[in-house]
């Protein structure tokens, strides 16, 4: 058994005891080759549940706050995430978005599964916000299929400001790969990237049942902080 497999064998039952999970659509994940899992983003611990639910190892470009160990609860979650990695973590200040995309490209070129949250940050209110077009660039550049993923219930486990996680049921639903053939070969053009990203976000919304918001989550969060 690989180190990842051994870690997952420990982490998976532990998370399922604490947070009973209903997983649907695993059959939509190709058994081999590069795959992009594009998910809605409700909580800092979303990668943990995607990693547990996916039958293959998932790589993420993760933010440092995912590994905050300021409380015992966050410490457990952070270590669970690391065990399900190895997560590719950006710890260098000032790293550009293009550099992050280049790292992601390397994962896909190696034939691995790459997990991404196209909203770029957690939803401030549970709705589904506009996706960033780096997702479409990756998909159209590599030809990797994009499997939409809908998470439910994770936002209530450890919302901002909570120190103790709640014990809540979690749903993870994988959908059929999104048909991006209308935009094949157009990764270098802005409008096709936007249209392809919107198609992926539509697929996520159909799975999750979330209301769509045609704004970026980061902009809405900035406005809320100013208020």
Q: In tens digits, what is the pLDDT along the chain, a chain of 227 residues?
A: 566 777 778 788 888 888 999 999 999 999 999 999 999 999 988 988 999 999 999 988 766 655 666 776 667 666 666 665 545 455 444 455 666 777 789 899 999 999 999 999 999 999 999 999 999 999 999 999 999 999 999 999 977 777 777 888 999 999 999 999 999 999 999 999 999 999 999 999 999 999 999 999 999 999 988 87
8 Å CB contact between 53 and 131: no
Strand partners, 172: 23, 151
- As a whole number of angstroms, the distance between CA 26 and CA 214 comes to 29
- As a whole number of angstroms, the distance between CA 28 and CA 45 comes to 23
- As a whole number of angstroms, the distance between CA 159 and CA 9 comes to 27
8 Å CB contact between 14 and 122: no
- As a whole number of angstroms, the distance between CA 88 and CA 53 comes to 19
- As a whole number of angstroms, the distance between CA 98 and CA 141 comes to 14
- As a whole number of angstroms, the distance between CA 173 and CA 202 comes to 15
8 Å CB contact between 150 and 202: no
- As a whole number of angstroms, the distance between CA 56 and CA 123 comes to 26
Q: Which two tokens stand for residue 151?
A: 């998470």
């Amino acid at each position: 058994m690989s180190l990842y497999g051994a870690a997952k064998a420990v982490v998976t039952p532990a998370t399922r005891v604490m947070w009973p999970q209903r997983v649907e659509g695993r059959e939509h994940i190709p058994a081999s080759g590069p795959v992009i899992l594009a998910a809605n983003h409700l909580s800092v611990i979303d990668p943990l549940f995607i990693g547990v639910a996916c039958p293959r190892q998932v790589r993420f470009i993760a933010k440092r706050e995912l590994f905050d160990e300021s409380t015992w609860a966050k410490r457990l979650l952070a270590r669970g995430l690391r065990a399900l990695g190895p997560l590719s973590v950006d710890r260098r200040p000032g790293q550009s978005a293009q550099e992050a995309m280049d790292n992601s490209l390397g994962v896909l070129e190696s034939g691995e599964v790459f997990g991404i949250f196209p909203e770029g940050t957690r939803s401030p209110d549970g709705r589904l916000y506009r996706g960033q077009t780096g997702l479409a660039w990756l998909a159209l550049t590599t030809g990797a299929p994009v499997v939409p993923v809908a998470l439910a219930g994770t936002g209530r486990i450890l919302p901002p400001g909570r120190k103790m996680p709640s014990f809540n049921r979690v749903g993870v639903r994988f959908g059929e790969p999104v048909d991006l053939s209308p935009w094949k070969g157009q990764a270098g053009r802005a409008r096709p990237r936007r249209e392809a990203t919107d198609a992926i976000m539509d697929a996520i919304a159909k799975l999750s049942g979330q209301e769509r918001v045609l704004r970026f989550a980061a902009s809405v969060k900035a406005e809320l902080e100013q208020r």
